[in-house]
Amino acid sequence: MENNKTEKETDRRKFLKLGLLSSVSVVAGTSLVSNLASVDEKLQSEKIRLLTPEGKIVEVDATNINKYPEAHITPTESRKGIPNRKFVMVIDLAKCNNARSCVESCQKAHQLDYHDEFMKILLIQNNEEDAPYWFPKPCFHCDEPPCVTVCPTGATFKRDDNIVLVDNNRCIGCKFCITSCPYSARIFNWGHKAKFDNKDIPYSPETGIPGTEGTVMKCDFCPDLLRQGELPHCAKACPMGVIYFGDKNEDIVTNGIETLRFSKLIKDRVGYRHLEHLGTKPNVYYLPAVNRDFPLERGLDKDEEILERYKNVPFIEEFIKSSKI
């Protein structure tokens, strides 16, 4: 117990300093953590000693250390999750102005086509009187994921670090997970695409690249970046700092600009989870769109195709009418 606590304490201090840099590879284990912390302070050319998975102590150049977590994570390894982490995302609806940077950087990183979006930005208006708001929607990485329950082959799985991933080498394409997800978080590869043939990078469920025809894909919280101590692509790309990402164990979330205590943020800003009553226990929290940084209309300065998507929202219907007349 005591030991765990001190380990957490050191982690937290480091976390504050390095953002999410404290995430470590499963393979390297916890010995890497203490070394990493010391690396930052000392000279980069220094040699440091590391414990290998076989239990040997080796001396390596300190500058090489950060590259290690970039190692390829096989489908089997990807089922384990990053130790001692409970990843969580907080989306501040008051800051979102539909800049779509999260969508675009996610698409670029996951090699998705224009219309394939792991992160979707919906325009939600709960009733006609209600103020509409932009609603970035990734996969919620539920604690009670219906998609994982119904999967007949275990192609989609829940890891210890809260992440729900899809192994598209295992997926048979029955699409049951798509129908069982109440948040429409999953998309299907309906046909063959040339990019699927690119075998330069070995496939890992942690990156989802290359895709495979006839299988399901979805937002993965970018575990490849988390292993390197970085934020997911969407959180990194957001110019408004809408997306906070962090670790529930450490009770910390950051959007790259500010680092906050997760529990306090949720309490102070009355954070909620979408469709809580379904009992799926999402790991994505929303902060209500009160005292907004931008008027909603700021997000309407987009391509016609993007605007067209929202034409059924009552607010937009009126907006189009008033702007045309």
Restricting to residues 290-319, which ones interact with other proteins according to CB under 8 A? 305, 308-310, 312-313
The answer to whether residue 75 forms part of the interface with other proteins (CB under 8 A) is no
Q: Residue 3 or residue 114: which is nearer to other proteins going by CB? A: 114
Q: Does 113 contact other proteins by CB under 8 A?
A: no
CB 9 within 8 A of CB 249: no
**171-210: which residues touch other proteins (CB under 8 A)?**
171-176, 178-180, 182-184, 186-192
**In this complex, which beta carbon is closest to other proteins, that of residue 86 or of residue 137?**
137
Alpha helices in the chain (DSSP H): 2-18, 31-41, 101-109, 146-150, 176-180, 223-227, 233-237, 262-268, 304-308, 314-324
Report the nearest approach of other proteins to the CB of residue 107 (Å).
15
Do 39 and 49 touch, CB atoms closer than 8 A?
Answer: no
Which residues make Cβ contacts (< 8 Å) with residue 272, sequence separation at least 6? Answer: 285, 286, 288
Query: Binding segment for other proteins among 11-19, 26-34, 170-178, 254-262 (CB under 8 A)?
Result: 170-178
Examine residue 154 and tell whether it contacts other proteins (CB under 8 A): yes
Q: What is the 3-state secondary structure (H, E, C) of 158-198?
A: ECCCCCEEECCCCCCCCCHHHHHCCCCCEEECCCCCHHHHC
**Contact call for residue 124 and other proteins (CB under 8 A):** yes
Dig out the tokens for 28 from the structure. 């390297």
Q: State which residue, 217 or 238, has the beta carbon closest to other proteins.
A: 217
Asked if 131 interacts with other proteins (CB under 8 A), we say: no
State in angstroms the smallest separation of the CB of 205 from other proteins: 14
- Applying CB under 8 A, the site for other proteins has a residue count of 47
Q: Rounded to the nearest whole angstrom, what is the least distance from the CB of residue 236 to other proteins in the complex? A: 25
Cβ–Cβ < 8 Å for 169, 78: no
Q: Which helix (H) or strand (E) holds 121?
A: strand 120-124
Among 58, 270, 275, 290, binds other proteins (CB under 8 A): 275
Cβ proximity to other proteins, 43 vs 190, nearer residue? 190
How do strand 57-61 and strand 47-51 relate by DSSP bridges? antiparallel
> Which residue lies nearer to other proteins by CB, 54 or 129?
129
Question: Cβ contacts of residue 127 below 8 Å, gap of 6+?
Answer: none
Under the rule (CB under 8 A), what is the footprint of other proteins?
A: 115, 120, 122-124, 137, 146, 149-155, 170-176, 178-180, 182-184, 186-192, 212-215, 275, 278, 280, 305, 308-310, 312-313
